Copies of this chain bind each other. A is one copy, B any other.
Amino acid sequence: MLDLRLGESLLTTTIHGVKPMKLFFNNASPFVRKVRVFVRETALEKNIEEIATAVSPVTESPALSKANPLAKIPALILDDGSALFDSPVICEYLDTMHAGRKLFPASGPARWTALKLQATGDGILDAGVLCRYEMAVRPKEFQWAGWVAGQTKKWHGGLDLLEREVGTLDGEPTIGGITVACALGWLDFRYGDDHWRDARPRLTTWYEKFLARPSMQATMPSA
């Protein structure tokens, strides 16, 4: 029974140290990149085996669907074969697997700030990815400009919020900053002609500095 195996696996890893885990990944996915940056920021690279996975909302990967029936990446397979998803859950789990500074603040204002930033970055990506599916996956005759306009307004709004609240990104990296950086990197990758930096100078300055981190440089998106 998978439910029991999940519990046993987590107990085992806690008691005996980090066991090898498998990450279904794709270099183009910004949600996967969050996990890959997180793994590098927490020095867990040696504990993660990455499995290249091609998947879209209309093209399945059988191995992935077996692990995560929602058929989405990232999915993290623990040593007993049970799976964790989505990216917030995977990252928070990995944060318990290393002895360094925690990237999910344990409690109080720092935690809500980090989780709100993560939700903002993920929300920008949800809307951006839906635009991308509309234009790159959906047949041309079924594309609807109203949908793209509505989703674009969402991610533009999210970027404006980040510019206004850019001070919440200050300090050592958290899951919040990692998510925001992966969102901005994905916009550069897929929507370079949107020029998100225009009128968002403080967010731009923050991002350029964050982008220099080895974890970001090692995980640049590619098609």
Contact = CB atoms under 8 A, between A and B. Distances in A.
Nearest to A110: B7
Given A119-B85, A153-B60, A4 B71 contact: no
Nearest to A5: B165
Nearest to A162: B69
B107 A165 contact: no
Interface residues of A, number: 62
A14 B71 CA distance: 40
A166 B2 CA distance: 9
Given A2-B165, A14-B108, A96-B107, 13 more contacts: A3-B166, A3-B167, A6-B109, A6-B168, A7-B113, A10-B108, A10-B109, A11-B109, A69-B157, A70-B157, A85-B119, A89-B115, A89-B118
19 contacts: A1-B167, A3-B168, A6-B109, A10-B112, A57-B147, A65-B157, A69-B157, A69-B160, A70-B158, A84-B116, A85-B116, A86-B119, A89-B115, A89-B116, A89-B119, A96-B107, A138-B144, A142-B143, A142-B144
